[in-house]
Amino acid sequence: MRRVALVLFASLLLIPSIVTAQEIISLQLTVDPTGYVRVDELVALDNYSVINSIPLLSDKIDALTVLDENGEPLFYNINGTSLEIVGNATLANITYYTASITSKSGEVWTVSLTSDVPVKIVLPHGAIIIDLSDVPVEITDEYLVMPPGNISVSYILPPPTETETSTSTLTSTSTLSSTQTTPESQPSTSPTTTAGASESLSGSFTTSGKGGSSGLVWVGILIVLVAVAVGALWYFKGKTGGNENSDDTTNIAQKISREDLEKKLNSMNLNDEEKKALLYIYDRGGRARQSDVRNELGIPKTTAWRMFQRLEKQGLVRVYKKGRENWVELTI
């Protein structure tokens, strides 16, 4: 009897694992102005497992697609907030949409989730960040990368223009029509294969009308011209970089004296740290590294980042990237 038990135990060790949680390589969230979020996830699969289990950000998702490294659809099954992938692929490209990780209170939108990996978040155009759960790993005008953990990003959107309002109405009508003609999703109790269902929701992000292709061509030409102009500006600016600080000092001093600047700052609703930061930048010729200002005031990175966001919103400074560092320039 003991010999039979040993044989059974050895046999179980030889059988590959049935369900295995896999490694998430990258995770990106693209947020629509309506609060809908597109989730793009790249996952490394275990070839020795019969079923690979990947956690989803929500149990309420739409337009799920699961493709292997060659763009071929994979069989899958949804089990609550877990995606169970069947097959022997190496990678899985997972895409779906959800509105469960965003919330709105008044004018403030908040994206909140928990992740074991850094998350790249693309906010709607023109979004103004007002609160963060942690200091971003990376931040640009187009996106920010948050470190792993409990992630929360709060932002507000500028009032829509008439053109944006009409476009949004057209998008909503198009999406509603598409939803009414789409059959109900099949039960998730049996493995399913994806068939490019993400196209059904792509209309909620973009709309096109007559002359759309021509407009895109002109936009592309304009972007190229602007890029060339900016590149030329930086090139010639670099040629005269040796006198940059002295020229800036002269220019800022010609615009406003330090005494007048202090009077202006005292008349505004600014705290002491903000006033000291602006005067420090003035004394450095009107621009300074954000890290230098932070070290001078002795404040944490998050506090400094939020302070410059407020000052930039008030039109007092301009924050920009130079090399690998953030710089702050007076715009008074």
For the ranges 60-74, 248-262, 313-327, the lowest mean pLDDT is seen at 248-262
Do 232 and 304 have their domain in common?
A: no
Residues 6+ apart with CB under 8 A from 247: 240
55 & 146 share domain:
yes
Q: Considering 191, 219, 239, which residue would you say is the last residue of a domain?
A: 239
pLDDT for position 50:
73
Query: 232: domain range?
Result: 211-239
C-alpha 31/C-alpha 35 separation (Å) is 6
pLDDT computed for residue 268 by the predictor: 87
One-character DSSP codes across 260-282: HHHHHHHTSS--HHHHHHHHHHH
- Is 274 a member of any domain? yes
Mean pLDDT for the stretch of residues 228-239? 60
Do 150 and 276 sit in the same domain of this protein? no
- Distance (Å, whole) CA 118 – CA 139: 13
Domain co-membership, 232 together with 151: no
Tally of domains in the chain: 3
* Whether residue 138 sits in one domain with residue 94: yes
Sheet holding 192-193, edge to edge: 19-21, 51-55, 82-86, 75-79, 192-193
182: pLDDT confidence band, cut at 50, 70 and 90? very low
Q: Are residues 122 and 218 in the same domain?
A: no
- Looking at 26-30, 148-152, 197-201, which range is the least confident one? 197-201
> Is the domain of 23 the same as that of 151?
yes
Least confident segment among 43-57, 171-185, 228-242 = 171-185
User: For 186-226, how does the pLDDT look when each residue is reduced to its tens digit (9 = 90+)?
Assistant: 444 444 444 443 444 334 434 444 444 455 566 667 776 77
CATH of the domain at 27: 2.60.40.3650
Q: Is residue 82 part of a domain?
A: yes
